[in-house]
Amino acid sequence: MVIAMKSVTTGDKKARTHDLILDTAAKAIRRGGYAGISVADLMKEAGLTHGGFYAHFASRNAMLAEAMDRAASRSAEAIAPKLQQAVTQGKTPFRALVEQYLSDEHLADAEQGCPIAALGSEICRQPDEVRAVAVRQMQSLRDAISRALPDDVKAEQAGVVMATLVGSLQLARAYGDTAEGRSMLAQSCASLLQQFDKVKQ
């Protein structure tokens, strides 16, 4: 009688597939929205067939919830080193964050960017199972902004800054990757820095 041979580490086959599906889904929801991805298409994009899906997720909604978490993690991982580098070069943490979030790079690459901006207007329509995860990630983003804000700026301002970042990126993307979109980003960037970053630099 063998008891629990399953490894919790990356050696586990099923866990690796689960991970692959999730990474694919994390990109897909940022590209197409919650409503824009079907189970079959997702599995095909991951190089699998549709039937295996329910061995990994209880439902499509359960997958969407997990995918948002994964998207937020990957997005944070991708940004972290860039922020560090900018701070090393003498920028304030707040300037580093704002300039990165409102960069042309982020504008053009929704699939690897912030999921709050990519899904913003869809969140309130999701079932609680899905919405709750998104709300938790909003708190997390607000905390990160709060930490980056200069000490003399009240922490309550983090919410407004988040709204401005998310709204600016979203509307810039609506313009398409055009001069109008990039100009919108530049103006929001200047405005936020002028308002919250005049102390230093």
Residues that bind its own copies (CB under 8 A): 32-33, 35-36, 110, 116-125, 131, 134-135, 138, 156-157, 159-160, 162-168, 170-171, 173-176, 183-184, 187-188, 191-192, 195
Residue 53 or 196: the one with the smaller Cβ distance to DNA is: 53
Q: Taking CB within 5 to 8 Å according to partner kind, which of its own copies, DNA, none is near residue 61?
A: DNA
Q: Which does 195 bind (CB under 5 to 8 A by kind): its own copies, DNA, none?
A: its own copies
* Residue 90 interaction partner, one of its own copies, DNA, none, beta carbon < 5-8 Å per kind: none
| Residue 70's binding partner out of its own copies, DNA, none, with CB under 5 to 8 Å set by partner kind | none
DSSP-assigned letters across all residues of 69-123: HHHHHHHHHHHHHHHHHHHHTT--HHHHHHHHHTSHHHHH-GGGS-HHHHHGGGG
Considering beta carbons, is residue 83 or 184 the nearer one to its own copies? 184
Nearer to its own copies, 80 or 174 (CB): 174
Q: What is the dihedral of CA 31, 37, 40, 41, to 10 degrees?
A: -30
- CA-wise closest residue to 108 among 35, 33, 182, 53: 182
Q: CB nearer to its own copies: give 43 or 169.
A: 169
| Spatial contact of 201 and 92, defined as CB atoms under 8 Å apart | yes
Tokens of 96: 């580093």
Binding site for DNA (CB under 7 A): 2, 5-6, 12-14, 16-17, 37-41, 43, 48-56, 59-61
Helix and strand numbers (H, E) in the chain are 9, 0
